[in-house]
A and B are shown apart, each in its own frame.
Chain A
Amino acid sequence: MVNLKVKIHKLELKNPVTTASGTYGYGEEYIDFMDVNRLAAIFVKGITLENREGNPYPRMAETASGMLNSVGLQNKGVDYFIDTIYPRIRNFDTHIIPNVNGSTIEDYVTVASKLNGLKGIKAIELNISCPNVKAGGMAFGINPKSAKEATRAVRDVFNGTLIVKLSPNVTDIAEMARIVEDAGADSVSLVNTFLGMAINAETRRPILGTITGGLSGPAIKPIALRMVWDVYRAVKVPVIGMGGIMNAMDAIEFILAGSSAIQVGTANYIDPAVSIKILDGIENYMTRHGVKSVTELIGAMKI
């Protein structure tokens, strides 16, 4: 029997496999396909203060080994989440981790305050890296000053584990990680999507309604992996890695690069049961390699 348990600050995870915000709905979308209770955590769809209709169609462009999206945080707002969605999903035997968004620091603070103390919510993911909103989102995460302010302001109102989701659209992601760590983050998750675009040459029009969008999938994996390695060496807080993880070996690579836990994102669309296969594959890898605890693998790339 291998030990799969990991810790993200005070948050105890039964294994390192979680699902990425925006790719896994609220977990309910997947119950026909897999046992969601086997996941360590579900990072649920991004939550804003008010109802958001999101961006116009088309919101998706398939690219080589990946996809661009410009969904734009469509959700019904934090009150709807607390009153209607959360009661339906709170009994899943997995951590529900809300992904907190805002157009202003006040928005972030209000959403985080509303979630603070909500029974069963032990952690939030502060999203300062959404590339698909006009105000806020990534704008906070690519500026050291605002990243620090947003993190500090939310830190002041949220008592549980504060995970800050970093944008890869920066010159030095390790520096951003250090800044949010100093501002009180208990963990960092990375990477969010890379800003990209796609054009239909025949019609000479952009494929996405918003022209640009966030690139995800295996196309970004090598860059995401390098960024996790950079950040792992720069901070003391645990790192949650993601970016194009399609299978267990990808997940192991992210753990070896320094991830204490991983998020499965775009792969969920192609195989809705992939996260369970990844979990089983990690266990199998550990057995093959005689690894007793997954913590032995974190940052254990041999150099």
Chain B
Amino acid sequence: MKRVEDFIVINHKWLNYSSFIIELEAPNPLPIIQPGNFAEIEISNSPKVFLRRPFSIYDVNPASNTLSFFVKVIGEGTRLLGETRKGDKLSVIYPLGNSFSKPVSGRVLSVAGGSGIAPFILYGKELQNNRTEITFLFGARSADEIVLTDQFKTLGNVLIITEDGSLGEKGLVTQHSLFSNKKLPFDLIVTCGPEPMMKAIGKIATERNIPCEASLENTMACGFGACLCCIVPTINGNKCVCTEGPVFNIKDLKW
């Protein structure tokens, strides 16, 4: 069941010049949160930021009853969220959206670009519980944009590629040497990040005959299926990313 509740900021940590982790304490015991779920956070005190902002739920800590969000500053809303302090109150609508498939065996490749890493800590934890092996492939422009890898390393193998070669291999994620393997040893590919990257990964997955799921990000007014603004064209017509996604099997998308 979806809720709207006032959370308290209990932790706020900058990871580099543009990204931070914000940890929010819930007023009531948290419901079950699935990997891929997102939340709509209200950012007040600016006429420019009229609507809530959707963020993937990065981590859940049942012991402290908190949710964490990985946020990259890209506009006024995320900038203001970056200025919140411990003790501030934030209204949150959650949990929203669907989840990735959670295989109970086999091997999964998770490909993320930029802030696309956000849904994959929860996903990695889930697969670890399922004893399913996960490999993370993260791409960024340069080393300073690669963050939080220590946490991901506790869940699976982490591969890095940067456009300037300052960390890991050099190039775009799709150029990683992993893909030079004729037979990719994965049963499922999940991806989140810039759309061109997800489309390129989807193309590789289709060529290699591996199921692929992508977590999409569209501009939303509500986040719970009322406004019909965040649609994506699918083989079954326009679907709301907020309620029928954000995770889609790429074979349903008109990519």
A182 beta carbon closer than 8 Å to chain B: no
Q: Is A106 in the interface zone, CB < 8 Å from B?
A: no
- How would you classify the secondary structure of chain A's contact residues: helix, strand, loop or mixed? loop
**B204 in contact (CB, < 8 A):** no
Tell me if A260 is interfacial: C-beta within 8 Å of chain B. Answer: no
Count of A-B residue pairs with CB < 8 Å:
95
Of B145-153, B163-171, B214-222, the stretch lying at the interface with chain A is B214-222
Render A257-279 as a binary contact track against B, CB cut-off 8 A, 1 for contact: 00000000010111111000000
Which residues of chain A from 43 to 85 have a CB within 8 Å of any chain B CB? Answer: 45, 53-54, 56-67, 69, 71, 74
Stretch binding the partner chain, chosen from B1-9, B19-27, B99-107: B1-9
Is B225 in the interface zone, CB < 8 Å from A? yes
Q: How near does chain B come to A269, taking the closest CB pair, in angstroms?
A: 4
Q: How far is the CA of A62 from the CA of B227 in the complex (A)?
A: 13
In the complex, which residue of chain A has the Cβ closest to the Cβ of B2? Answer: A32
B75-127 contacts to A, CB under 8 A, are 91, 93
Closest to B93 in A: A272
Q: How large is the interface on B (under 10, 10 to 19, 20 to 34, 35 or more residues)?
A: 20 to 34
Q: Are B231 and A59 in contact (CB under 8 A)?
A: yes
The CA of A53 and the CA of B224, in the complex, are separated in Å by 19
Contact with B along A2-24 (1 / 0, CB 8 A): 00000000000000000000111
B165 to chain A, nearest CB (A): 28
A residues 31-47 touching B (CB-CB < 8 Å): 32-33, 45
Contact of A71 among B219, B223, B225, B229 (CB under 8 A): B229
Bound form: Cα–Cα A61–B238 in Å: 19
* Contact stretch, chosen from B48-56, B132-140, B177-185: B48-56
Q: Is the CB of A23 within 8 A of B4?
A: no
Which B residues touch A285, using CB under 8 A?
none
List A contacts of B49 (CB < 8 A): 62
In the complex, A226 Cα to B171 Cα: how many Å?
A: 58
In the complex, whether B47 has a CB less than 8 A from a CB of chain A is: yes
Q: Is the CB of A30 within 8 A of B228?
A: no
| Residues in A lying within 8 Å of B, measured CB to CB | 22-25, 29-30, 32-33, 45, 53-54, 56-67, 69, 71, 74, 217-218, 266, 268-273
- B residues bordering A, Cβ < 8 Å? 1-4, 42, 47-52, 91, 93, 218-233, 237-238
Given pairs A57-B232, A271-B42, 19 additional interface contacts (CB within 8 A): A23-B227, A25-B226, A56-B233, A57-B230, A57-B231, A59-B228, A62-B48, A65-B47, A67-B51, A69-B221, A71-B229, A74-B228, A74-B238, A269-B222, A269-B227, A270-B42, A270-B51, A272-B226, A273-B4
A-B contact pairs, 13 of them (CB 8 A): A29-B225, A33-B4, A45-B228, A54-B228, A54-B238, A57-B232, A58-B229, A64-B47, A64-B50, A71-B228, A74-B238, A269-B223, A269-B227
